[in-house]
Amino acid sequence: MKILVTGGAGFIGSAVIRHIITNTTDEVLNVDKLTYAGNLESLNPVSSSSRYQFEQVDICSRAEIERVFTAFQPDVVMHLAAESHVDRSITGPSEFIQTNIVGTYNLLDVARLYWSSLEGKKKASFKFHHISTDEVYGDLPHPDDVEPGSELPLFTEKTSYAPSSPYSASKASSDHLVKAWHRTYGLPVIITNCSNNYGPYHFPEKLIPLVILNALEGKPLPIYGKGDQIRDWLYVEDHARALHTVVTQGQVGETYNIGGHNEKRNIEVVETICKILDELVPSDKKYSEQITYVDDRPGHDRRYAIDSSKMQQELGWVPQESFESGLKKTVQWYLDNAQWCENVQSGNYQRERLGVIAGE
């Protein structure tokens, strides 16, 4: 199968491509603009495969996307390219509107014309898989805000959209466009909405890698508000496997929620990382002494939690990694891959791709 992956140099996209090239015989074309979040070093384990190609392309460029579809003739599209950092969306929403909404529109419309031109089996099996977030659903009641013992709801595929941040609003918009291209034009689409991912190759602006690297460097470990926000964490390799399962076995027109059943308060996440580091890299002080509380993010969602029973029942997918085992693997990965972290923190990962010698 020929898979066109957008955003394959990002955190989840690179995990998807490593998974596909390592575990299947599929061929991948990765199109990525290489924003600050795109790092080709995350593809080093598979970049020499003859089944992998990369092109630096902005999904907002219609001409470029048309050229890519014509040249590669994909069997399926897995669309992950996006601006993905909530804090950045609050300080500068414009790129989020462009890439997440206009870029998705562009891809959908080129995919529609391409799919219309196909014939036979290739047309019948074509799928446009849009990768989205559980943040489109807004937030859920928090255990601290309800009567003790009350049942706490989960996000299901039928939960209404109520995005809170410019990021989640832009992803919600893109989901609606995808649904409209299915309903209006018949484009064979599938949507997945996933909870927070963590794991290797995660850009260190996100909570888990930020805390690991700051802890090791003796810097403050910033916690928004009281740190009581609840997120449902999924190991990125479990997500990558889920996405390949969906694109190969999922039903066209359907939405699948993907989550890890790991509801954790942010403070618990940070304390667990500190405990793992206390064991793996002992120092005179406990790492938790570096925890620092900072002003909460405006509009910060209180709780996310995913019901992924449809994925389990219909497609037989279950996460393999528990939160504790996944977090240990993640911390160990950051300890073993100091060069990847150093290249990201120094900006060398961006200079290298522009042909500038690292360290100059």
Summarize the chain as % helix, strand, coil (round to 5): 45, 15, 35
Pick from 81, 111, 178, 212 the residue near ligand NAD by CB under 6 A: 81
Q: Are 89 and 165 in contact (CB under 8 A)?
A: yes
Pattern 311-340, ligand NAD, x by CB under 6 A: ------------------------------
Residue whose C-alpha is closest to residue 14's, from 199, 168, 245, 170: 199
264 is an interface residue for ligand NAD by CB under 6 A: no
| Residue whose CB is less far from ligand NAD, 105 or 126 | 105
Q: Are 19 and 83 in contact (CB under 8 A)?
A: no
**CA–CA distance, 132 with 193 (Å, rounded to integer):** 5
Q: Are 3 and 20 in contact (CB under 8 A)?
A: yes
- How many residues make up the chain in this entry? 360
Which amino acid appears at position 150 of this protein?
S
Query: By CB under 6 A, which span of 76-84, 121-129, 221-229, 247-255 interacts with ligand NAD?
Result: 76-84
| Residue whose CB is less far from ligand NAD, 24 or 35 | 35
Helix (H, G, I), strand (E, B) or coil at 195: coil
Pick from 2, 45, 47, 58 the residue near ligand NAD by CB under 6 A: 58
Active site residue 134: yes
Active site residue 167: yes
59 is an interface residue for ligand NAD by CB under 6 A: yes
241 is an interface residue for ligand NAD by CB under 6 A: no
Pick from 18, 19, 33, 303 the residue near ligand NAD by CB under 6 A: 33
350 is an interface residue for ligand NAD by CB under 6 A: no
| Residue whose CB is less far from ligand NAD, 13 or 188 | 13
Tokens of 165: 């941040």
- The residue from 26, 27, 135, 175 that is catalytic is 135
Find the binding residues for ligand NAD in span 100-129 (CB under 6 A).
103
Q: How many CB atoms lie within 10 A of CB 38?
A: 23
**CA–CA distance, 82 with 8 (Å, rounded to integer):** 10
Beta pairing, strands 263-265 & 230-235: antiparallel
- For the CB of residue 30, give the shortest distance to ligand NAD in the complex, in Å: 9
Tokens of 273: 């990382």
Which residues are known catalytic residues?
Answer: 134-135, 167
Residues that bind ligand NAD (CB under 6 A): 6-7, 9-13, 32-35, 37-38, 58-60, 80-84, 99, 103, 131-133, 171, 194, 196-197, 203
